[in-house]
Structures are given as structure tokens and as C-alpha cells.
Structure 1
Amino acid sequence: MDILRFITAGSVDDGKSTLIGRLLYDSKSILVDQLEALEAQSKNKNAQGIDLAILTDGLRAEREQGITIDVAYRYFATPVRKFIIADAPGHVQYTRNMITGASNSEVMVVLIDARQGVIEQTKRHSIIASLLNMKHIVVAVNKMDLVNYEQSVFDSIVQQYKTVASQLGLSQVSYFPISAFHGDNIVETSDSMEWYKGPTLLGFLESIELSSADSTQPRFQVQYVLRPQTKEYHDYRGYAGQILSGHFEKGDRVQVLPSGMTSAITAIEIHGESVEKVHSGQPAVLHLADDIDISRGDFFVKEDQLPRTDKQANALVCWLGNKPLTKGAKYLLQQKSRMIKVAVHEVDYLLDVNTLERKPQPQSVHLNEIVHLRLKAAQEFVYDNFSDNPTTGSAILIDETSNSTVGAVMFI
């Protein structure tokens, strides 16, 4: 079965914890001993006699104790598909956490309280979704039971959100009237909303067609150069790594970047077995016809689908560091297994995550702020636009003095 990764986004008390709990409970992903403990601890009980929000209460308790949690993940499966839920806090001060969780997700489920409608927090989460070029947005209008399951309330919120989606260029948006507390339209169709004729939320998540990474540009990155130098493998030279996107076949002409040298693939191995073709996500060892200088972090790309190479690059950066970023500052940029030294050449503008307003040339950039930078390096950057290929369009910035990750980079 394939795996769908999605993130839930919602303001405080929108029912995010209850929704996650409902999906886990109704998909029978809770163990018997967990269920017994849940029943014993429940105070705000639903028809099943339990409080589903308790399943994620442990995270809140940890936050109250001062423990930093970037992103927490929940796992469940149905007979059709496996799911990974990214549970990230949605407050503005946790923008970095939200981006971390959303960057690895194919779908964002935006919860809206039926009593409140579209609020500032809804717009903030939607802006993050647009920045990350998320393919699918699911708008779940929750707590329909508290507005008497009125269709007019749901229709009004749909119209409100369509305005936001149009402004942000979000095209694939689906809408669901739900009650996570009672389970309406989550796994089973609700008898209380006969006016709704669409699928259940889980049914829709099971049916979403995932985009094939094979359709993107072929990219491979070297993690290790294999030279056993034994009697048995005296002339063996292989390049071990992962296919980041697309696919490679035996006989393909490739260019090695950043050097620009070219060669052809003579053999491909997976787990010691020879294969003719290797796909995105698979670890492999590639062999080339020519003995050229190749190091850890180098990219193999097909000659007819080259990425961008330059000593300067434009990027949106979500700042993760406690120490402010300033023009001229120097960092290490890590892109998978490649690391180069970079400097902040220009700070073009700061992006307001509430309004998308651009504030030109800020003097400094602080924790959780998103900024457009021009980076400069002695070596060439090798990258694709994040919107075209997130695997090669993203990187992190590292503070050389503390070795801390201080920036999440999206090349544009």
C-alpha cells in the first residue's frame, strides 16, 4: 500500500486533537490497553464514552513542561492506504514547526470552527500551504453539531474560503462538513446532514491520487564512493546514494554536477543485485563508464534535464535560529549530503505570514520570520525550484559556531 502524509492545521479549540483521535479510533489503530486508559481518563465523553482529544494531550503536557516539540507524528492504516499525520502547533510563534511538518506532507487538512468561520489563523495556515506549493487542501468545517447541522452555515464558510483560495492560487480545494466529536462524515456518512452528498473525509483521503515522483526531473546524489580494493573487487568503483526524483536506466547519459563531467551508466545495483532501472526513493549503486573525479554530495542528472547551477541563488528562508539573521552573515548550507559555505548577499524583503505583504530590506530577521534572501557561495549551487522539485529545491542553513540548524531554505 502507498502512504499518504498529511498535516492538520487549526486554531486553538478548532478540534484538531479530536479529529486525529477520531481517525485513530475509527480506524481501530488504538490498542486495547490504550483504549482502557482512554476510557478511565475521559472527562469530556462522547457517545463512545471517551474523550478522543486525550490521545494527543501528552503533547500539550510536554509543551507545558518546557520541552520543545517540532513536529509529532501519528500513524494509522486502513485496508486501502497507510497514513502519517503531522501534528504541528499552529500558533504564529510556531511558524517554523508548521513549515517543518507541511514540507513533508502532500495534503493539508485545514480545520475551521463552524461557529467562527474563516479567521486570521485560517489565512495564515493557507498562506504557508501556498508557499510550500501543496497540491491538495482539505477544508474541514468542524463542530457542525453546534450550529444544528445547518447547510447555510457550511455554504457561507465555503464561500469565505474560496475567496482566500483564489487570492493565494490554491486550486485543488475540497470541503467537508464534519463533527469530530460525534464522528459525522469522518469515517461514516452522517444522518444529520442528508443535504451533504459528497464522500466522507477518510474516504476522500483514501482516494487522493498521489503525484508520481517519477514524473519529475531525474536526480541522484552520491552519499558514498565504494572502492573495496580487494582481490575479488579490485577494479570496483560504485557510487552509492538515493534516487531523489525521477528514474535512471542502464545506458542513460548523465552529467555529474557541479563539475559538469559527463558519462554513461553501465550498471545499477540494488541490495547487491543488478537491475536495469531504478526509481525515485530507492537506494542504489550506480556505475559509470568513465573514471572521473566524483565526491560525496555530487549530483547525477540526465543531460537533457539539467538543474540550475550558479554561485548565487534566490531563496525563501524560514528563520529557525534564536540569533537574528543579518546581511553579510556566513553559514553552511546543507543540501542532503552536500555541504557548502554561503554568505547572505542581500536581504530583499520580509514576508508577512498573515497578509503576504512584503517589507523591503529589513535590518535583521528573527525567529519564525520568513524572508527572501540572495545567497552567494564560492562553489556553485545545484538546485531546482522548490515548486518544481522539493527534493532538490530545499536545504538547511547551519550556524558554523554552534552547529545548530538556523534556516529552512526553499530555492525559487
Structure 2
Amino acid sequence: MATDIKDTAHAVTAAAVMRLLPSRPQLLALGEPTHGEDTLLDLRNELFRQLIEQEGYRTIAIESDCMMSLVVDDYVTSGTGTLDEVMEHGFSHGWGTSAANRELVRWMRAYNVRADNDGRPASERLRFAGFDGPLEITHAASPRQSLTALHDYLSPRVEADLLPCTAETLDRLLGTDDRWTNPAAMMDPSQSVGRSAEAGQLRLLADDLVALLDEQTPHLITTTSREDWDRARLYGRTALGLLRYHYWMADTSPARMTRLVGLRDQMMAHNLLAVAERGPALIHAHNSHLQREKSTMQLWEGPVEWWSAGALVSAQLGEGYAFVATALGTIRHQGVDTPPPGTVEGLLYALPEDRCLIDAPRLATALGDTRPAPRVSPWFGYSPLDPAHLTDSDGIVFVKDVPQS
């Protein structure tokens, strides 16, 4: 068996990834089993550079706030702001403190400027996107930014009689942002404003604004840039998604958390499909947001399972979506030591390479009907591979040892 497994391993390169796939996917998803390790982000950065040079990829999208990421995209495409400002204000989840993320943004800006300083044509420029909603498992943002940005886009471009409300009406219904961002609402549904009369009116108005944006598309794309119209669509998706999320935060049924984690990934999926419209893109997020099988998580209310963004996008794009999971040997600074030899990670750890790309379907064939036991992580922040779902990924990047960032 060891020989068979060794035969499934290749160097981690864009060319090797492409050889595992039937064709170049619109969205190539690279998952990670833990967050916050620059070793994995450095690997992602190198793979992205190769995809740009060899496969014509132009966009990278990461698990970060889709609204905040507009700050990063403006910087890498147009030089708006400074690198320090972008790292502080353009990332959610604390990703802006990562040295690898900083290097990615710096390099993308330098690539777009080129050596002769006259800039690349728009069609060749690298783009950056966040595809997460403005939310986390502990909280959700106010819909103010996205909803008012959508209204601000439409109001000077369509007849006033067509607008379902004024900016003043939106402001009055939204109230103060801390009503929406109250951290107590995640644990106590009665603290949420998501089912208030004002929130109900806002959901209807947001739906009408998005419908107006759609029905005025021929006019809007001729009177504004396609880029501005795309952003308005992002505002609309985000406003509707946040209002829907807040509505279910106020729910008291046993399905509440299942609904919330599913809604978050549905927002991610909608953003990924919009990214795919631009051209081929590298996607980077936790394995659980990109895998094709159902995702599971243990929460304070018990276990939940849901369809990830990757599963939703894969169902729509077919071979236009590819998923490469990442698995790890050790993260010793987090107490994750050498994997037991009877696990998939243990078998891969015995290979001589420090990192390698595994042909997942061939690995599953080599292992046969009797799959290794699942690895059990002593640290909640690392999610091992599920041996039962090896064939649901197109490949596996295995990194033997992850040093402290």
C-alpha cells in the first residue's frame, strides 16, 4: 500500500493541480484545516502566482468580509490608500495582521503597477475579493452600509417615483447600529431586532431595491461602469443576506443555529458565483466552507450540519468548481503532534516530502474499502480529514509540519 500511496504524491504546483482536473475550473478552491498559520498562506500565495502566470487566473477571493474587501480591491487595482490603512480596514477576522496576507496585497499592487509604472490594462489586472458576509458565528453587522450604498447608487440614476423609499426612511428604520450588533443576541434570541416591525419593513424595501436594480440593468450598465453595477449587486446581496440572518437570529426554534450557519454559507456561495463571472479565480477558506460533502460543527446548542458554500457552488458549476483540501501533520505550538500511523494523516506523514499534492481519488483507491480511522485533534482549532469523504475532493495538499507563524 505504501508504494501505491507514494505514487499518488506530486510536488505542489499549479501545473500538478491542473493535471488532476478535467479542465481549468472557473473557481479553484484551496481549503485549509485551521486558520492563522502563515505557512499555509505562503503556500496559497505561491500557488496564486503560478496560476496567474501559467493559467490566466486574475482574482483571489478569501474568507473575509465582502464589504471590507472593497478597500483591498481599490488599493490593488488603483492604489487607493496606503498598505497600512488597507491591512487595518480591508480585512475581517483579524486577517489584516497576517504577514502573508500583507505580502499578498503588496505583491498584487506591484504586479498591477508593473515595472514601467504605467499600469496594466484593466483586463490583465489582479483583483481581490472577500466572499464572507459581514458576520461571524458570534455576531452580524448592521445592514446600514450595504442598504444605504445600494440606495445611493440607484437614487441619482432612476426616476424618483420608482424608488420604494427615501434615504431618510431607511435611516429611520435602521436606527442605531448597536441595535443590530448587540453581541448578546447570538446567545439570546430575544435580544435580536431581526423580527421587529422596522426590520420587517427593511426586508421588503431591500427586496424592492434589488428588484429595481435588476429591472433597470440595461439602463444602469450604459450610464455607469460595469464595475459600479457589480458593486451595487454586491450591496443588494449583502443587505438581503444580513436582514435574513438577523431575522433568524431572533428565532427560538431548535433549528436556529443550523439555519444561521447555512445562511452564512449561502451568502458566501452567492458571492463566489459573482466572482466566477469575472473569470477564473483562486478561492481560499476553511475546508468546511469549501468541501462538497455536508459540513458539521459542534456548537453550544449541540451539533449542526449544513451545505457549505463549496457544495452549493459545485452543484451549480459542476466541473467549473474544483476543491483541493489541505491536511496537516503537526502544529506542535497548538499541541497537535505526530499523527497516529493508522490515520490518513499518519500515512501521508510517512512520505519523505515536507509538502506534497495527493491525487485524492487514487489515494482512496489505494486504501481500498477499509478506510483508516479518523484522526482526533486535541485542539479545537484544527479539523482533520474525514477518511470517508476522500473522493469528494479533487486533491489534497499535505503539509508535514506547520511551524509557529
TM-score, with normalisation over the residues of structure 2? 0.21
- By relative contact order (CA 8 Å, sep 6+), the higher-ranking structure is 2
TM-score, with normalisation over the residues of structure 1? 0.21
